[in-house]
Amino acid sequence: MQIEFFKYQGTGNDFVILDNRRQSFDKNDTKLIAKLCDRKFGIGADGLILLENHPSCDFKMVYYNSDGRESSMCGNGGRCLVAFAKLLGIIDQNANFEAIDGFHQAYIENDLIHLKMQDVASVENYTNHVFLDTGSPHHVTLVKDLKSFDVVRTGSSIRRGAPYFEKGTNVNFVEQVDTDIFSVRTYERGVENETLSCGTGVTAVALAMHHMKKSSEAVRLLTPGGELKVVFKKTTKGYEDIYLIGPACMVFKGTYLC
């Protein structure tokens, strides 16, 4: 069995992407998915994405974490899949697709992918953090000296701790750099490690900082893998017209020999 694959990255968040419009890939083979994502025995990635046909949209997105399990929405993965759809000739500059959290719109401008995220109705306040769902659950907390902060140790302890437990959450650590500019490091569930960037994570951080009255409605997020931007509107219903903006690049393509 041979699998043609494409490797993409969006600010260092990397993905194995497969064209599954012919339904040739076994989506129930979690061991194979994990092996493809393995950085020693496979291609190596934070996750795997399938592009599939959709009856009314341009395509469907199916996303798996590197542990082989289908997961919630991945913002950087969605941006990479839009770039892949353009490569395949499925779209030109605009896209409509369905992901696990619903329908998304996106457009490409000046080589940046603008991905519209789902509306967020509420942000939950706690003593030392806030919690919100931007297609994936996110714990957001402000810290000092983010550069030397132990993201893996602290993130892993919060990830399955109360009240998250087995379902877990992604954990974002944030430090303000300047007006509307924040540095972010994220511990991702399913990857069980820090990733260089997390799209739903920086989206959660941008909304959280606005909720905490620390930013405007346009926020720059500096991750270890690069810079992203999130713009949005605050309304009486919550946060709407949320766009995650950043680059998405094909790194290489090849054939995996099972």
Which residues have a catalytic role annotated? Answer: 74, 198
Distance CA 23, CA 100 (A): 18
- Other CB atoms within a 10 A radius of the CB of residue 156 amount to 17
Distance CA 168, CA 159 (A): 5
Tell me if 220 sits within 8 A of 229, measured CB to CB: yes
Residues 6+ apart with CB under 8 A from 16: 5, 6, 7, 36, 37, 43, 45, 47, 48, 49
| DSSP annotation of 147 | G
Q: Could you tell me whether strands 94-99 and 218-223 are parallel, antiparallel, or unpaired per DSSP bridges?
A: unpaired
Distance CA 173, CA 126 (A): 15
Tell me if 139 sits within 8 A of 129, measured CB to CB: yes
Q: Could you tell me whether strands 47-52 and 13-19 are parallel, antiparallel, or unpaired per DSSP bridges?
A: parallel
**Closest-CA residue to 198 (of 89, 102, 63, 68):** 63
What residue has token string 């995220």? 117
